[in-house]
Copies of this chain bind each other. A is one copy, B any other.
Amino acid sequence: MSNPIGVALLGCGTVGSEVLRLLTEQSTELAARVGAAVRLVGVAVRRPWRHPEVPAELLTTDAAELVGRDGVDVVIEVIGGIEPARPLLLAALRAGRGVVTANKALLAECGPELYAAADAAGADLYFEAAVAGAIPLLRPLRESLAGDRITRVTGIVNGTTNFILSAMDSSGAGYAETLEEAGRLGYAEADPTADVEGYDAASKAAILASLAFHTRVTSADVHREGIAEVSAADILAARKLGRTVKLLAICERVLDSAGTEWVSARVYPAMIPRSHPLATVGGAYNAVFVEADAAGALMFYGQGAGGAPTASAVLGDLVAVARNRVAGGYGPRESAYADLPVRPMGDTPTSYHISLEVLDRPGVLARVAQVFADHEVSIMAVRQTGRTPEHALSGNAGSGNAESGGVGSDNAGSGGAGATLVIVTHSAPDAALRSTVDKLAGLDVVRDVVSVMRVEGEVT
């Protein structure tokens, strides 16, 4: 057995207290796995009186002093947020301590700075817990797939929004009332902004894209849309197409027409086929679907949040860092050699689903189709629904092919029954699709844009 490994714990909330519990309960096993005893040197908290579970002699309010204290080999940070976590971890790394953190926001914003400090000092920086909680994901991405070429990562990485969207899909209820229910059940925080507006998922997308594509991607590079605009009509439209709505973090390689390789990182709600492995991920669970050249499709599934699951990931990292110190080596460094440019969202190819309520009169489809053509957007499928029987396509009743006829009645425009056009596009630059939608909304034959949502998860 080597000398004991000294651990400083910064923060003792939901995750920290579980880390503390596992460190204590598993101490014999940890020692066996590390090859040295793991000894807790101190626990930094803001309000020591709130932590009767921590031995008094370990508690301190001076996190900076604890980080610098003799005998600290590894610093575990579970405070969250940028300040004061950032200077504390920089100080720890510069002093050559190994760092284990669950802080996705910090990594997504200041990752390069932390990596540089780790590199300069030859110190380890591990953060498995920062993305998808207990799911072993970052280690597979940066180690198991290190000899492969990852092309795409599609993740459900936020439990709150997945709970809300799953519930809306089951109940048909609207967003506001479902959010309220999620709050009552403890699945949404009092201020749910970071979750429902997609900030949390965007931080994770930045971390995933950095690892998958060996490129520095920060949260500022991630296009972000939340779920607050998702309506019961969207969910219903998805259901009619055999799809379901999920908030996705998507990281992919994009080739432009000149053959240049870019990285796209984006977060938005999208319709995916119900047959897709991600479609069955319900409630507060997380899952990440990874596509690689040689490995093909892989999926990782588990609990994305919660004290114990997150602590499990923290402890896994602690064992790795401690073992590296005992063995005299170090873990994989930041790998940003590919240094791909980040594709702006407007230039990124996506596909849209658009449901329109239109006037029921001749030439409507032609007018609508012309708008797509003007924006060089190709239509994959059109379906016309919701017409009353007497307005069925003249001469083509029952053919079910909206392209094949004009429109059967002239009087629908004057307040009579309208028709619904459901359009799914082929892949096109997102900006062209957005402009198409804007233009459609202004057409006199379009009564209402009922639902607009990107579609993902299959070749279009």
Contacts and interface: CB of A to CB of B under 8 A. Distances in A.
Interface of A: 18, 22, 26, 29-30, 32-33, 128, 134-136, 139-140, 143-149, 214, 277, 280, 292-303, 306, 308-309, 311-320, 323-324, 327-330, 332, 335, 337-338
B299 A301 contact: yes
Given A32-B214, A149-B26, A313 B144 contact: yes
Copies of this chain in its oligomeric complex: 2
A277 B301 contact: yes
10 contacts: A32-B338, A134-B298, A135-B298, A136-B139, A136-B140, A146-B316, A146-B319, A147-B315, A277-B301, A294-B315
B319 A294 contact: no
Nearest to A148: B312
Given A32-B337, A294-B312, 14 more contacts: A29-B149, A32-B335, A128-B144, A134-B294, A134-B298, A139-B139, A139-B144, A140-B140, A144-B316, A146-B319, A147-B312, A147-B315, A296-B303, A298-B302
A300 B335 CA distance: 25
A145 B149 contact: no
Nearest to A140: B136
Contacts of A295: 134, 302-303, 308-309, 312-313
Contacts of A30: 147
A143 B320 contact: yes
Nearest to A308: B294
Contacts of A18: 294
B315 A146 contact: yes
B328 A329 contact: yes
Contacts of A145: 136, 312, 316
A338 to B, nearest CB: 8
Contacts of A135: 298
B22 A148 contact: yes
Nearest to A139: B144
Contacts of A299: 299-302
Query: Looking at A18, A33, A144, A297, which has the most chain B CB atoms within 10 Å of its CB?
Result: A144
Contacts of A319: 143, 146-147
Contact of A311 (B294, B313, B314, B320): B294
Nearest to A34: B146
A303 B277 CA distance: 13
A29 B215 CA distance: 13
Contacts of A148: 22, 312, 315-316
Contacts of A314: 147
